[in-house]
Chains A and B, each alone.
Chain A
């Protein structure tokens, strides 16, 4: 009996050690960035460098706000993100409901096409989008980017929410129908509340996409006053020779915190909201 308990203890201990190592590996780049951003000494290059800073400072955070128009970038990003979420959900919720519930000519074909389009990397047609936007006079405008983001993310949103609508039993809707509810009432009063996990996750993914998107915004927007957080931070990064790594580290933390908060708030919906659609953002 003692042997079994000892073996169990050994098993649990090694398991915990294994997970501690895994967590350290997962967190080290983030913790190091945090440590560098708050390190008061300029000891990055010296030999007495320590992972845990001896003196803490917020100097680097101050200089991000003082030297760069971060609040302007934040405003731009919020504008783009909120508009894109609203626009893409406004067009995608009705469409995904229709694709899930109604049968009509061409439904299967369009669904297949959407999945194929989802697998097509938007970078490949970026130049064509560039020419299109330049023809429409929307280059270097936020409206242009909102349209691009919303169009790109609609493909994902339709597929993801359609998958979730499929899992909601139709009986409830039929019962409501018998009670005399109209289609609009059914969608707003019954389906939308039931599909909340999927809608929240889809919105989070779209928000994340816009928040993190840099390749379109560095190519389509010029001028510091139009920049987003992502493209601004992209310009801040330190290279082998120039730039300030502590300031960039502080900027990275500032930009990441909101995303981390949203992610962990929506995490309880994550598994059900994503896997049933079978599509990841």
Chain B
């Protein structure tokens, strides 16, 4: 009973649209405007238009750091997604093996990292696990290694923490997907003499794909947007650890709120937005989210 009534529909959805327009859309347009100016702390009101200079600085100046940040973000997303999908698939499959009596208990316990407030978990990891003097890792090893001080070390630590944070959601999605697969498929496969791996490749993965598709696409976006893990672990104001790793979002934040280069950071924001639109069009054409 799809009704056709434009006026009423607009009226009923207007409050939400006005809110979103003011808080989400207007700032994006305003960011677009700022990206053509030299606005910074000294030019808070009396800024000048500088044309495309900010965009040039971001894209054409090779050591601006932005291109590195893009590369890092792409690698970060790829590595994290691959590891997440594989580990979650293994754990969810094991959870669904028949005869596992404590399944519910394990599932509840495994959800804890997701239930904890994200920033608290990250700060706990930073101090409790990685701290050089009283972190658990160093306590157990009897060392005082500064895990977060090198780029590679910090990347590994950030990946571990990100996996710890993100796996429960993925396991839950995969577990739900696995439950919805018709059991008779496996029975007939067993009769035909198919082994475990053969069943996984020919039945489980193809059946799982459409069910978990949207959740995976969304997780790709979330991973691409990673800010908390990297910012809180390595570059909080006053307690930078020395590692110089940046995703595009931490890079933008640093330019906006630490070095106060508003024009430049706005230009980067717009470039990222355009990248997101392209990315979104690509995934949307494939997976038909809408």
> In the complex, which residues 171-215 of chain A have their Cβ closer than 8 Å to any Cβ of chain B?
173-174, 177, 208, 211-212, 214-215
Complex contact A123–B249 (CB within 8 A) = yes
> For residue B82, which residues in chain A have a CB less than 8 angstroms away from its CB?
none
> For residue A32, which residues in chain B have a CB less than 8 angstroms away from its CB?
124, 128-129, 136
Docked complex Cα distance between A26 and B168 (Å): 9
Interface secondary structure of A, over-half rule: helix
Task: Judge whether A238 is part of the interface by a CB distance below 8 angstroms.
Answer: yes
Complex interface bits, B81-107 against A, C-beta within 8 A gives 1, otherwise 0: 000000000010011010110100010
In whole Å, how far is B6's beta carbon from the nearest beta carbon of chain A?
A: 5
Task: Judge whether B164 is part of the interface by a CB distance below 8 angstroms.
Answer: yes
Task: Judge whether B169 is part of the interface by a CB distance below 8 angstroms.
Answer: yes
Which A residue sits closest to B97, measured CB to CB? Answer: A15
Complex contact A120–B127 (CB within 8 A) = no
Give the size category of A's interface with B. 35 or more
**Given that A127-B31, A214-B119 are contacting pairs, would A91 and B23 also be in contact in the complex, using a CB cutoff of 8 Å?**
no
> In the complex, which residues 139-165 of chain A have their Cβ closer than 8 Å to any Cβ of chain B?
147-148, 150-152, 154-155, 158
**B: number of interface residues (CB 8 Å):** 93
Complex contact B4–A127 (CB within 8 A) = no
In whole Å, how far is A114's beta carbon from the nearest beta carbon of chain B?
A: 7
> For residue A98, which residues in chain B have a CB less than 8 angstroms away from its CB?
9, 12-13
**Given that A26-B112, A92-B16, A101-B2 are contacting pairs, would A116 and B269 also be in contact in the complex, using a CB cutoff of 8 Å?**
no
Complex contact A237–B12 (CB within 8 A) = no
> For residue B6, which residues in chain A have a CB less than 8 angstroms away from its CB?
104-105
Task: Judge whether A62 is part of the interface by a CB distance below 8 angstroms.
Answer: no
Task: Judge whether A52 is part of the interface by a CB distance below 8 angstroms.
Answer: no
Task: Judge whether A86 is part of the interface by a CB distance below 8 angstroms.
Answer: no
**Given that A128-B30, A259-B116, A280-B219 are contacting pairs, would A117 and B16 also be in contact in the complex, using a CB cutoff of 8 Å?**
no
Interface secondary structure of B, over-half rule: helix
**Given that A27-B112, A29-B129, A94-B13 are contacting pairs, would A127 and B262 also be in contact in the complex, using a CB cutoff of 8 Å?**
yes
Which A residue sits closest to B222, measured CB to CB? Answer: A280
Task: Judge whether A66 is part of the interface by a CB distance below 8 angstroms.
Answer: no
Task: Judge whether B141 is part of the interface by a CB distance below 8 angstroms.
Answer: no
> In the complex, which residues 60-119 of chain A have their Cβ closer than 8 Å to any Cβ of chain B?
90-92, 94-95, 97-99, 101-105, 107-108, 110-112, 114-117, 119
Task: Judge whether A221 is part of the interface by a CB distance below 8 angstroms.
Answer: no
Complex contact A123–B227 (CB within 8 A) = yes
Which B residue sits closest to A245, measured CB to CB? Answer: B127
Docked complex Cα distance between A246 and B3 (Å): 60
> For residue B112, which residues in chain A have a CB less than 8 angstroms away from its CB?
26-27, 30, 260
Task: Judge whether B118 is part of the interface by a CB distance below 8 angstroms.
Answer: yes
> For residue A112, which residues in chain B have a CB less than 8 angstroms away from its CB?
290
Residues of B within 8 A of A (CB): 1-6, 8-10, 12-13, 15-17, 19-20, 22-28, 30-31, 34, 91, 94-95, 97, 99-100, 102, 106, 108-121, 123-129, 131-134, 136, 139, 164, 168-169, 172-173, 176, 214-215, 218-219, 221-222, 225, 227, 238-239, 249, 252-253, 256-257, 262, 265-266, 269, 272-273, 276-277, 280, 289-290
| Extra inter-chain contacts (12) besides given A152-B23, A240-B133, CB under 8 Å | A12-B100, A29-B136, A94-B16, A97-B12, A99-B13, A101-B1, A123-B227, A151-B20, A215-B227, A248-B123, A263-B115, A278-B218
6 smallest A-B Cβ distances: which pairs?
Answer: A151-B23, A95-B16, A128-B27, A278-B214, A125-B27, A263-B115
Q: Can you pick out 23 interface pairs between chain A and chain B where the beta carbons lie within 8 Å of each other?
A: A19-B102, A29-B164, A32-B136, A44-B134, A94-B16, A95-B17, A102-B2, A102-B3, A104-B6, A114-B20, A119-B225, A126-B27, A127-B266, A128-B266, A129-B27, A147-B23, A150-B19, A212-B118, A252-B124, A255-B120, A263-B114, A267-B111, A275-B215
Residues of A within 8 A of B (CB): 8, 11-12, 15-16, 18-19, 22-23, 25-30, 32-33, 36, 44-45, 49, 90-92, 94-95, 97-99, 101-105, 107-108, 110-112, 114-117, 119-129, 131-132, 147-148, 150-152, 154-155, 158, 170, 173-174, 177, 208, 211-212, 214-215, 219, 230, 233-234, 237-240, 245, 248-249, 252, 255-256, 259-260, 263-264, 267, 270-271, 275, 278-280
